Amino acid sequence: MLKNKFILTTLYVVSVILLGSCDSYLDVNSNPNKPTNDNLPLEAKFPAALVSTVNQEVGQINKIGAFWGGYWGTNNDGANLYYDLKTYNGPGIRSQRDGIPVWENGFNNILYFKLIEEEAAAIGDVFYTGSAKIMQGWLFLRLVDFYNNIPFDQAASGNNHLNPTYESGQEVYEKSINLITDGILDVKASDMVPSMNHGDVLFGGNKDLWAKFGNTIKLRALIRQSEKVDQTYLQSEIESITKEGSGFLGPNEHALVNPGYLNTDGKLNPFWNNYYRDVQGNSTANHQNLRPTLYLVDKMKSRDDPRLSKIYQEVNGKINGVIFGNPDAGKPEYSRQNTSALKGPQENNGEATGLLHGIDQGSVLMTGFESQFLQAEAAYRGWIAGSITTYFQNGIRSSMDYLKVAETDALAYTETQLRNFEQSGTPLQLLIDQKWLALNSVSSIEAWNDYRRLGLPHFPGTAASGVSGRPLRLMYPETERGTNNAQVELQGLDLVTENKIWWMP
CB atoms within 10 A of CB 291: 29
Residue 14 pLDDT: 52
Band of pLDDT at residue 162, cut at 50, 70 and 90: confident
Residue 25 pLDDT: 28
The CA distances from residue 414 to 18, 367, 395, 411, in Å, are 43, 18, 10, 5
Band of pLDDT at residue 4, cut at 50, 70 and 90: very low
Task: Say if residue 27's pLDDT is above 70.
Answer: no
Question: Residue 117 half-sphere exposure, CB side, CA atoms within 13 Å?
Answer: 23
Domain architecture of the chain: domains with CATH? 2-260+441-490 (1.25.40.390)
The CA distances from residue 348 to 214, 356, 397, in Å, are 36, 10, 22
Band of pLDDT at residue 175, cut at 50, 70 and 90: very high
pLDDT tens for each residue of 386-439: 999 999 999 999 999 999 999 999 999 999 999 999 999 999 999 999 999 999
Cα–Cα distance measured from residue 392 to residue 421, given in angstroms and rounded to the nearest whole number: 9
Tell me the residue type at 264: T
- Three-class SS of residue 441? coil
Would you say 251 and 216 are in contact if contact means Cβ atoms under 8 Å apart?
no
Question: Mean pLDDT in the chain?
Answer: 93
pLDDT tens for each residue of 70-98: 999 999 999 999 999 999 999 999 999 99
pLDDT tens for each residue of 260-318: 999 999 999 999 999 999 999 999 999 999 999 999 999 999 999 999 999 999 999 99
Note the pTM of the prediction, 2 decimals. Answer: 0.94
| Helix-helix angle 2-21:102-123, to 10 degrees | 120
